Amino acid sequence: MFVDEVDIVVRGGDGGNGVVSFRREKFVPRGGPDGGDGGRGGSVYLMADSQQSTLIDFRHKRRFAAERGGHGASSNCHGKTGSDIIIHVPVGTLVYEDGKLIADLNESGTQLCVARGGRGGLGNQHFATAVHRAPRFSQRGEPGEEHALSLQLKLLADAGVVGAPNAGKSTLLAAVSAARPKIADYPFTTLEPQLGVVQVDIDANFVLVDLPGLIEGASAGAGLGDQFLRHVERTRVLIHLIDGAATPSEALAQLNMIEHELQAWNPQLLAVRRIIAVSKQDLTAAPHTLEAVRGAVPGPVFGISAATGAGIKELISAVYAAVLEARHEARTALEAEVVLKPRPRPNVRSVRVVKEGADFRINGSQLERVAHMTDLQTDDGRAYFERALVRTGARRKLEKLGAKAGDRVLVGSVEFTFS
């Protein structure tokens, strides 16, 4: 089964908790704090894998969570770092979040971190000062990131074969590559895209994709055309195959219909190199159809027969030459591309305070993280968080909005009483 669109949920591992511990050894008075830090949680990565060709592996498992970090221990022992998860996806996978494209994994081996693990909490050894030598406070681990992603696959191929149903596309793919698509004498034999590698010479080849037949209205979803046309968008060259068994008028109607559907789906497809061929030249009436198409189309039109091999070599040579030219243009455009300046990093220290009814809410990524990692049930924890409020300016903003002792303040999913 060919699956090219799935939704998944990924979550990084939570960081381990720091601990409160004090060194206690014989003949070592006032050993001091020795609580170890928690380990960082594991992260989730997507990796483009050329051995994958479909997203079917996500059909039954759609939630992935990395291992959480281990908790710290006494004697300054650091918690274990959580193991990462690497999810293999086909080359050409697009990654969306909230409808926005965040990555295009179009090269084999490319990795993308989609959910970072949380930081480990600090042990009480980090909070010792000359004044406060025995802190009874440590941090909790930071929660790992969680994201809902949509994965869409657009096959990466150098050339694609498009045409009406039963035009001989699968027969052509089987004749020029090692692919073995289903071939039968009825329309819509091909129900999913088929890939094959065409070996032109010892060190010369290209990838060819056979798309299911297109009918009128395919760009609007007729015949599942909207699910297949997206795979055409990445091809460098299109082979427009016309059924040689059709009458000249039917063949011209097929040609116009396919051109119209390609334009309706994506007008940029008209700029892709197209090579027109008429199949089934071993049939008696096929040469007449070929002549009619040649008279209506500027440029060369190839007549081929997958059964006898006639015209196949000439067609493949023309396709490979067009692929090489397209590859050269793509490299030239990449080299000439202007390197954009990196976007300025957001100010994670900035905080925003708003009034929500009788309550107050503080928004700020850094302060929210501190709130999640601080145990507000302890005196030392509340004092530490109070210093963070002052340091970031959140306390001053709360007072300007009229916050009084006893008011409830929300920071992310954490709430505390203002005092």
Which ranges constitute the DSSP H helices of 207-298?
225-228, 248-265, 286-296
Question: DSSP label at 33?
Answer: B
pLDDT of residue 214: 75
8 A C-beta contact, residue 240 and residue 258: yes
Q: Residue 320: pLDDT above 80?
A: yes
- List the single range of 1-5, 102-106, 248-252, 324-328 with lowest mean pLDDT: 1-5
Domain 352-417 superfamily per CATH: GTP-binding protein OBG, C-terminal domain (3.30.300.350)
Q: What percent of the chain has pLDDT over 90?
A: 19
Give me the mean pLDDT over the 134-150 stretch.
90
At 80, is the pLDDT very low, low, confident or very high (cuts 50, 70, 90)? very high
Query: Using CA of residue 382, residue 386, residue 389, residue 395, what is the dihedral sign?
Result: positive
pLDDT of residue 18: 92
Phi, psi of 2 (to 5 degrees): -95, 115
At 403, is the pLDDT very low, low, confident or very high (cuts 50, 70, 90)? confident
pLDDT of residue 347: 52
Question: DSSP label at 92?
Answer: T
pLDDT of residue 338: 39
Q: Could you tell me how many helices (H) and strands (E) the chain has, helices first?
A: 8, 18
pLDDT of residue 339: 43
8 A C-beta contact, residue 166 and residue 185: yes
CATH class for the domain made up of 159-336: alpha beta
Strands 100-105 vs 93-97: parallel, antiparallel or unpaired: antiparallel
pLDDT of residue 257: 87
Strand partners, 88: 47
Strands 63-65 vs 5-11: parallel, antiparallel or unpaired: parallel
Phi, psi of 198 (to 5 degrees): -95, 115
pLDDT of residue 65: 95
pLDDT of residue 64: 95
Instruction: Give the range with max mean pLDDT: 138-147, 194-203, 220-229.
Output: 138-147
Question: DSSP label at 163?
Answer: -
pLDDT of residue 185: 56
Strands 359-363 vs 352-356: parallel, antiparallel or unpaired: antiparallel
pLDDT of residue 1: 43
Q: Residue 373: pLDDT above 70?
A: yes
- List the single range of 2-6, 130-134, 195-199, 314-318 with lowest mean pLDDT: 2-6
pLDDT single digits (tens) 236-287: 888 888 888 888 888 898 888 888 888 888 888 778 888 898 888 888 888 8
Q: Do domains 5-153 and 352-417 have the same CATH topology?
A: no
Strand partners, 415: 410
Give me the mean pLDDT over the 332-345 stretch.
52
| Tokens 């997958």, located at residue | 306
pLDDT single digits (tens) 227-236: 567 777 778 8
| Cβ-proximal residues to 68 (8 Å cutoff; 6+ apart), any chain | 13, 14, 15, 16, 41, 42, 82, 117, 141, 144
pLDDT single digits (tens) 201-220: 877 888 888 877 777 665 65
Across the chain, mean pLDDT equals 83
At 55, is the pLDDT very low, low, confident or very high (cuts 50, 70, 90)? confident
What ranges do the domains of the chain cover? Answer: 5-153, 159-336, 352-417
Q: Give 50 or 229, the one with higher predicted confidence.
A: 50
CA 360 to chain centre: 37
Q: How far apart are CA 148 and CA 63, in angstroms?
A: 9
Q: Residue 9: pLDDT above 50?
A: yes
Q: Residue 90: pLDDT above 60?
A: yes
| Cβ-proximal residues to 116 (8 Å cutoff; 6+ apart), any chain | 12, 43, 144, 145
Q: Give 187 or 195, the one with higher predicted confidence.
A: 195
At 364, is the pLDDT very low, low, confident or very high (cuts 50, 70, 90)? confident
Cα–Cα distance list, 105 to 89, 93, 155, 240, 274 (Å): 9, 5, 11, 28, 26
pLDDT of residue 220: 59
**CATH code for the structural domain at 5-153:** 2.70.210.12
Q: What percent of the chain has pLDDT over 70?
A: 88
